[in-house]
Structure 1
Amino acid sequence: MLSGFMNFLRACFRPRSDRYVHSSSDAGSRQDGLLWYKDTGQHFNGEFSMAVVQANNLLEDQSQLESGCLSSHECGPYGTFVGVYDGHGGPETSRYINDHLFQHLKRFTSEQQTMSVDVIQKAYQATEEGFLSLVTRQWPMNPQIAAVGSCCLAGVICGGTLYVANLGDSRAVLGRAVKATGKVLAVQLSAEHNACIESVRQELQSLHPDDSQIVVLKHNVWRVKGLIQISKSIGDVYLKKAEFNREPLYPRFRLREPFKKPILSADPSITVHQLQPHDQFVIFASDGLWEHLSNQEAVDIVQNHSRSGIARRLVKTALQEAAKKREMRYSDLKKIDRGVRRHFHDDITVIVVFLNSNLVSKASSVKGPNLSVRGGGVTLPPRTLAPCAMPA
């Protein structure tokens, strides 16, 4: 019975090679089924590796690496920008961030003529406000866009300094060499905003002292208002602006009582780290990776294998762990198509940025070539019918 049901699902979601196209801004990338990867590349401060595996029918993870000029003017500063955007409820918000966050960053860097925490905060704020404007315009025709949002993890390497900004539960982990032992330790650089973390629940309760249901344990998972795990995001306007939490939004998103102040926040947590010669690399990844690998396990994999293809190796290891948890073989997991695959693992995005101490120490005014790479996935061409609906 179960095998018959799975065969039906696979038939519904099975892609035909002539129906699906892949687009990427970088010719050095490759596609292997639902896996997109760029094994190696050169950024302003060293080498990098990227990989994305799609699980959802439409890829909700978006990502980018921008290297070179970080300003609207070619006078600089110069460095590397990394972004991982883990969408939920649909791909619209993560795609919007991919198109706008870095452009806002360049604009504010140009205005202040330097990179700073303030520049990053303003870029996040402008991106949030821009998406809110988009939701306002589309609400009459597409009200469900108010329930679409995205985590937003960004890293900026500029003038020997690493800035890490985060909304949600994606994660940036530094690999730092310990000279005395030769071991490379994992150091988490990003703060996370997930209701499963007690300090996040306490913060929500302190911000909403009159709301006893601000966090609810539902099916053994802590959720904000019983709806969503993360407390910070871009988008999710239905939990930020009361005027969007009403009909014709789907009933499951509508709160029983109106709220007077935003429930979710778009104010990022930002850390500033002065890079040292013993800082080897940084792993930027959506929570799809961290569901299956600990910080130290991921760092050990990067340290103990070749740089080329290391992001793809991390993704593969996570998928192997996902298969093992379901008591199935990795080779069988790979055969399951997008959409159905989401029952086994999430979209996973990994960007590993290696740090060349000689390049990192260069002044931010030293020019370098511009590079722009975006993570890819399987995309439907225009006017293609969506896969058939799952049976009740």
Structure 2
Amino acid sequence: MLQALMNLFSLCWKPFGRDADRIDSIGVIGREGKDGLLWFRDFGKYGSGDFSMAVVQANQVLEDQSQIESGPLGTFVGIYDGHGGPDASRYVCDHLFRHFQAISAESRGVVTTETIERAFRQTEEGYMALVSGSWNARPHIASAGTCCLVGVIFQQTLFVANAGDSRVVLGKKVGNTGGMAAIQLSTEHNANLEAVRQELKELHPHDPQIVVLKHGVWRVKGIIQVSRSIGDVYLKHAQFNREPLNAKFRLPEPMNMPILSANPTILSHALQPNDSFLIFASDGLWEHLSNEKAVDIVNSNPHAVRLFLPCLDFLVVLISVMVVSSSGHKMHGWGGRLIEPSGCIKNWMRASPVY
């Protein structure tokens, strides 16, 4: 019975991404071209929406991943800001939505906070199993991790789940003046925030080095800025903080409890007619744009590529962006990804749910 439900549910969430670039009954592809390292698609129809994208790559390793999955049941957006290598972000991109599908199928497609929590937990457990099974041959993947920002639009409710320091900001119309308010809908987990440092100190009261200020930046154990992520199992399980892991990741003292967490903070927001668009982005964008500035840019020209223009002087910054905008009570979207420095990828996409 469960498999039958899974088969039915899978038809209600269609992928937009690596395997969805063909012309078929659900997609009509517009102008496409390649110029050196630049690849672009100006226009594509997907279900009842459209998208555009462009890619330019200079380096070999791409640590970020992003995805849109859309169908009659709603829309799933994921931004996975990897660090320490691409293994964790790729794993999350390949498995998180699959877990979300399977868990939702158990409740006939209903999405709740618990649905998303379980999907995160199963993805974390799966990555830990991958590290365990690869320990002797690939110990370095124990030090790979990814921030994980997910948005799920289901029955006019937006669920936002975040583990790490990515952010989602809502652009909301204010009255009839054409003004737009910027409302942050996510909670971040970065040691540069006083609340995060306090949380870590309360969880580890006997560890004076739980957060360390290095070169003006607060880091957990002097190593990593984020306190929550998927992966980074070397800071969660003692069996992965030993040889043959690179010495720079090994702690000098025994690890008696997990230092980082994979538990996301999940918020819900009832979508309103004056909710115009959502900006999902990794921390690189917000280092250079305030919430208000980003909303002003998208409100003036609703293409995520415009968000990158103020950042062009900071091309070493790693940025992932997805912009989803409203049309009446339905959400459709366009978005983009600027990946620097390891991948040097610029990627813009536009898609909409099929309700």
TM bin, normalised by shorter chain, reads 0.7 to 0.9
1:218 is displaced (CA, Å) by 0.7
Matched, 1:66 2:66: no
1:316 is displaced (CA, Å) by 3.4
Q: Which residue of 1 aligns with 2:209?
A: 213
Question: Alignment partner for residue 314 of structure 1, among 307, 313, 322?
Answer: 307
Matched, 1:192 2:185: no
Given residue 111 of structure 1, which amino acid in structure 2 is its aligned partner?
A: E
Note the alpha carbon deviations across 1:175-216, whole angstroms, 9 max, x for none.
000015321111111100000000000000000000000000
Contact 2:78 2:149 in 1 (8 A): yes
1:65 is displaced (CA, Å) by 0.5
Note the alpha carbon deviations across 1:288-314, whole angstroms, 9 max, x for none.
211221111111111011x3xx11222
Question: Alignment partner for residue 103 of structure 1, among 78, 82, 98?
Answer: 98
1:54 is displaced (CA, Å) by 5.9
Contact 1:24 1:375 in 2 (8 A): no
Question: What is the root-mean-square deviation of aligned Cα atoms in Å?
Answer: 3.0
Q: Aligned equivalents of 1:287 and 1:35: distance in 2?
A: 24
Tell me the TM-score normalized by structure 2.
0.81
1:35 is displaced (CA, Å) by 6.3
Task: Point out where structure 1 has 5 or more consecutive residues left out of the alignment.
Answer: 1-22, 70-77, 323-343, 361-370, 381-392
Higher relative contact order (CA 8 A, sep 6+): 1
Q: How does 1:99-248 map to 2 (within 5 A)?
A: 99-113=94-108, 114-248=110-244
1:94 is displaced (CA, Å) by 0.4
Given residue 87 of structure 2, which amino acid in structure 1 is its aligned partner?
A: E
Q: Aligned equivalents of 1:33 and 1:315: distance in 2?
A: 21
Q: Which residue of 2 aligns with 1:94?
A: 89
User: How many residue pairs end up in the alignment?
Assistant: 315
Q: Aligned equivalents of 1:189 and 1:195: distance in 2?
A: 19
Contact 1:51 1:349 in 2 (8 A): no
1:53 is displaced (CA, Å) by 6.7
**Structure 1 residue matching 2:251: 3-state secondary structure:** coil
Q: Which residue of 2 aligns with 1:72?
A: none
Task: Point out where structure 2 has 5 or more consecutive residues left out of the alignment.
Answer: 1-17, 23-28, 344-355
Given residue 64 of structure 1, which amino acid in structure 2 is its aligned partner?
A: Q
Q: Aligned equivalents of 2:216 and 2:83: distance in 1?
A: 20
1:55 is displaced (CA, Å) by 7.5
C-alpha spacing 1:249/1:79, structure 2 compared with 1 (3 Å):
same
Contact 2:39 2:56 in 1 (8 A): yes
Q: Which residue of 2 aligns with 1:262?
A: 258
Q: Aligned equivalents of 1:170 and 1:111: distance in 2?
A: 29
Given residue 99 of structure 2, which amino acid in structure 1 is its aligned partner?
A: H
Q: Aligned equivalents of 1:52 and 1:348: distance in 2?
A: 14
Q: Aligned equivalents of 2:34 and 2:311: distance in 1?
A: 18
Contact 2:229 2:260 in 1 (8 A): yes
Q: Aligned equivalents of 1:32 and 1:292: distance in 2?
A: 29
Larger strand fraction of residues: 2
C-alpha spacing 1:126/1:248, structure 2 compared with 1 (3 Å):
same
Tell me the TM-score normalized by structure 1.
0.74
Q: Aligned equivalents of 2:217 and 2:93: distance in 1?
A: 29
Bigger shift: residues 224-233 or 38-47 = 38-47
Contact 1:193 1:232 in 2 (8 A): yes
C-alpha spacing 1:279/1:258, structure 2 compared with 1 (3 Å):
same
